[in-house]
Amino acid sequence: MVLMKRFIATALLGISLALPAQAEKLSLNAISNYLNGLQTAKGAFTQINGDGTISTGTIYIKRPGRVRFEYNPPEASLVMAGGGQVAVFDARSNQPPEQYPLSRTPLSIILQRNVNLAQAQMVTGHGYDGTSTTVTAQDPENPDYGSIQMVFTDSPVELRQWVITDNAGGQTTVVLGDLEKGVTLPARLFNIVQEAQSR
């Protein structure tokens, strides 16, 4: 009888070790730590625009405060943030880029030097669907600037997508491919003035 119990216990242990570990809801501190540790990254992205059209391209991230979206043809547009500004370059226009402060966009939340999602009134939603954790955040001092909804998986923690809702209620979804982290990214990738001069 003792041997039988021991056999059953051993068998159950073997089964539990063979099963994949269950994902868990990520804490706000774990997500903040992940974002703060994400210094540079590069990867492919797919963007679902508010009108239902789809764009693809390459994203370059250099925290704090810098990001570059290079869109593939036929769009071939460019959106970049650097020096506290966001610039939108239209490949079909000879006009200077449209610019506005990065601080007025929800993307600034994950590009700031020290991300702290646990601060009061920043997070308006924190959910888990069994495979991924979703966090919705806004600037607590300027909620009218819109919000960003981020989706993370764990083991290891990875940012998979975000949805930006602007102040007019329009939504843009960015789905990230595998990010190559710790890459060397030259400063010129995020220099709005230099980019404008080169066009």
The residues spanned by each domain of the chain are 21-198
- Listed in sequence order, the DSSP H helices in the chain are 2-18, 28-37, 108-111, 192-198
Selection from 52, 51, 80 nearest residue 66 by Cα: 80
Q: What is the pLDDT of residue 13?
A: 32
Q: For the structural domain made of 21-198, what CATH number should be given? A: 2.50.20.10
| Contact predicate 162/147, CB 8 Å | no
pLDDT < 70: residue spans in the chain: 1-23
Which pTM was predicted?
0.83
Q: What is the pLDDT of residue 14?
A: 35
Residue with tokens 């700031």: 112
Q: What is the pLDDT of residue 188?
A: 95
Q: What is the pLDDT of residue 150?
A: 96
Q: What is the pLDDT of residue 126?
A: 96
Q: How far is the C-alpha of 191 from the C-alpha of 118, rounded, in Å?
A: 32
pLDDT digits (tens, 9 = 90+) for 126-138: 999 999 999 999 9
Q: What is the pLDDT of residue 186?
A: 96
- The tokens for 62 are 């250099």
Q: What is the pLDDT of residue 181?
A: 94
Q: Cα-flanking dihedrals φ and ψ of residue 192, to 5°?
A: -65, -45
Q: What is the pLDDT of residue 129?
A: 93
- Burial of 182 from C-beta contacts in 10 A (0-12 / 13-18 / 19+): exposed
Q: What is the pLDDT of residue 199?
A: 75
- Burial of 33 from C-beta contacts in 10 A (0-12 / 13-18 / 19+): middle
pLDDT digits (tens, 9 = 90+) for 68-97: 999 998 887 999 999 999 999 987 777 889
Q: What is the pLDDT of residue 121?
A: 84
